[in-house]
Amino acid sequence: MKLMDEKSSDSMDDIFDRYLDADANIFANREVLSPHHVPEILPHRGEKFEELAKILAPSLKGGTPSNIFIYGSTGTGKTAVTKQVLSKLKATADSRNLSFEYSYMNCQHVDTKYRVLTQLCEDVGINVPFTGLHFDIIYQKFKDALDELHTLHVTVLDEVDMLYKKSTESLYILTRMNSDLDFSKISIIGITNDVNFKETLDPRIRSSLSEEEIVFSPYTAEQLRDILTQRAKVAFHKDVLDFGVINLCSAIGAQQHGDARRSLDLLRVAAELVERNGEEKITELHVRKAQQVIERNTVIEVLTSLPIQTKVVLQAIYLGEGKNDEITTGDVYEIYNKICKLIRLDQLTARRVGDLINELDMLGIVSAQVISKGRYGRSKRIHLTVSSKQVRNVLDSDFRLSKIFEVEEL
Ligand SMILES: Nc1ncnc2c1ncn2[C@@H]1O[C@H](COP(=O)(O)OP(=O)(O)OP(=O)(O)O)[C@@H](O)[C@H]1O
Ligand SMILES: [Mg+2]
């Protein structure tokens, strides 16, 4: 059997040819715009680099640096600067035969005391089986291994607010560990973009974690322009960028809490749109389109990662809205119960579902306004604040929920 007729096979070749030609036209080096690329020099962060390096420098002479708390809004270079300072410090220590170790962990993933200690063990070269060992044994293994190294160990806890939320105990354990160590020392760098985090910390952890503080302020539009220019010079061929593109990406990033990640994403997505369309120049119009694409993707990411119970509540709201102009918490709960029965999911209480609706409200997915409901007491009027098409797409992609749309009586 012939899979394709001559004509469509030709047009397939065209697509690839056009793609390859376009690639040659737009990108000279695509990699430098990828979210994982970190340039050797970080413009406008020299001062922060120095601040952090000075606090950590005593570790090269056998001292124990203070614990450090780093905060600032998203995309301000906290992770990039910290990683760079530590890798330079390690290289210096190695080149002079000095002892220095560090671990970097992102607490979005490393979020239990087992995971933290297992990762620390791995970083000093001991393998721990993933399950089965008592926590005290893993702790002892790490302590012994570290003591044997006679070293200073810096533990970076990036997104430390996540660890504190899920396992406060981990932070207690780490901040107290020096009293257990005999020949080595540990110091901690906690990083967060949650401005309120410090206030929520237990006072004992707070004073220990924030012996030194470094604040990363948002980038201004001018600073973002320099950051983008540095990348654009390497990323693009000559004359590909229209006048104003970098300024626009920087201005949007500056409005969004001085976020370098957002500005870089805009530039990359705009360039990819141009490439995909086989066009030759990146213009401000492409940046605007890129902005829409990115905002749409963020909503989809949030929706996709919701837990199943919350997704069912969302589906109940979606279905309710499809039938009535105005729906209340009571209506949502009724449909929610029907869906739970159909997919054999535990039914939560009305109060708990009310909490989930509030969570969706906080995420900006629905709006829930209190209305008076006479003898039924207080109720809320609910409606979706994101595009219902996006909600439908995400629900459709969950196999448990997609079949609900075929049920007539809902
Ligand atoms: N001064 C800079 N020069 C060049 N690129 C930068 C600079 N600051 C940040 N970036 C780039 O911006 C992106 C975001 O930076 P980074 O991950 O360090 O932010 P962050 O402050 O850790 O954000 P979050 O709080 O969301 O984790 C990265 O791709 C990084 O390479
Ligand atoms: Mg970060």
Select from 111, 53, 108 the least CA-distant residue to 83: 53
| Whether residue 59 sits in one domain with residue 174 | yes
| Whether residue 373 sits in one domain with residue 315 | yes
Please provide the average confidence, as pLDDT, over all residues in the chain. Answer: 90
Angle between helices 245-255 and 221-235 (to 10 degrees): 130
State the pTM of this model: 0.79
Q: Which ligand is nearest to the CA of 71?
A: 1
Banded model confidence at residue 4, pLDDT cuts 50, 70, 90? very low
Q: Is the CB of 260 under 6 A from ligand 1?
A: yes
Q: Would you say residue 163 lies in a domain?
A: yes
Q: Which ligand is nearest to the CA of 36?
A: 1
Q: What is the tens place of the pLDDT at every residue in 265-291?
A: 999 999 999 999 989 999 999 999 999
Q: Would you say residue 120 lies in a domain?
A: yes
**Please, is 346 exposed, middle or buried when counting C-beta atoms within 10 Å of its C-beta (0-12, 13-18, 19+)?**
exposed
| Whether residue 359 sits in one domain with residue 274 | no
Cβ proximity of 329 and 357 under 8 Å: yes
Please name the residue whose Cα sits nearest to atom 16 of ligand 1. Answer: 77
**Last residue of a domain, which of 162, 194, 216?**
216
Banded model confidence at residue 12, pLDDT cuts 50, 70, 90? low
- Helix residue ranges per DSSP H, 283-370: 284-304, 308-323, 329-343, 350-362
**Domain extent for 372:** 306-406
Q: Is the CB of 261 under 6 A from ligand 1?
A: yes
| Whether residue 114 sits in one domain with residue 173 | yes
Residue 88 has pLDDT above 90, yes or no: yes
Average the pLDDT over 140-164 and give the result.
Answer: 96
| Whether residue 82 sits in one domain with residue 22 | no
Residue 139 has pLDDT above 60, yes or no: yes
Please name the residue whose Cα sits nearest to atom 9 of ligand 1. Answer: 77
| Whether residue 378 sits in one domain with residue 351 | yes
CA of 271 to the centre of ligand 1 (A): 20
Q: Which ligand is nearest to the CA of 82?
A: 1
Neighbour tally for 131: CB within 10 Å: 6
27 alpha-carbon distance from chain centroid: 26
Residue 376 has pLDDT above 60, yes or no: no
Residue list, CB under 5 A from ion ligand 2: 79
| Whether residue 140 sits in one domain with residue 260 | no
- Phi, psi of 217, deg, nearest 5: -85, 160
DSSP symbol at 153: E
Q: Would you say residue 261 lies in a domain?
A: yes
Q: Is the CB of 78 under 6 A from ligand 1?
A: yes
Banded model confidence at residue 143, pLDDT cuts 50, 70, 90? very high
Q: Is the CB of 283 under 6 A from ligand 1?
A: no
Select from 38, 124, 160, 139 the least CA-distant residue to 88: 38
Q: Is the CB of 48 under 6 A from ligand 1?
A: no
Q: Is the CB of 307 under 6 A from ligand 1?
A: no
CA of 77 to the centre of ligand 2 (A): 7
Per the rule left: phi > 0, alpha: psi between -120 and 50, beta: everything else, 309 is alpha
CA of 72 to the centre of ligand 2 (A): 10
| Whether residue 330 sits in one domain with residue 181 | no
**Last residue of a domain, which of 167, 197, 216?**
216
Q: Is the CB of 231 under 6 A from ligand 1?
A: no
Cβ proximity of 311 and 319 under 8 Å: no
Output the DSSP codes for 239-308: T-BPTTHHHHHHHHHHHTTT-HHHHHHHHHHHHHHHHHTT-S-B-HHHHHHHHHHHHHHHHHHHHHTS-H
Q: Would you say residue 2 lies in a domain?
A: no
Please name the residue whose Cα sits nearest to atom 25 of ligand 1. Answer: 74
**Last residue of a domain, which of 257, 274, 301?**
301
Q: Would you say residue 347 lies in a domain?
A: yes
Count of domains forming the chain: 3
Q: Would you say residue 41 lies in a domain?
A: no
| Whether residue 189 sits in one domain with residue 131 | yes
Ligand 1 atom showing the smallest separation from residue 193 Cα: 25
Dist CA 338 CA 131 (whole Å): 39
Q: Would you say residue 152 lies in a domain?
A: yes
Select from 381, 367, 369, 385 the least CA-distant residue to 328: 381
Ligand 1 atom showing the smallest separation from residue 216 Cα: 21
| Whether residue 173 sits in one domain with residue 69 | yes
Question: What CATH number does residue 317 fall under?
Answer: 1.10.10.10
**Percentage of the chain lying above the pLDDT 70 cut:** 93
| Whether residue 166 sits in one domain with residue 123 | yes
Dist CA 281 CA 288 (whole Å): 14
Ligand 1 atom showing the smallest separation from residue 77 Cα: 18
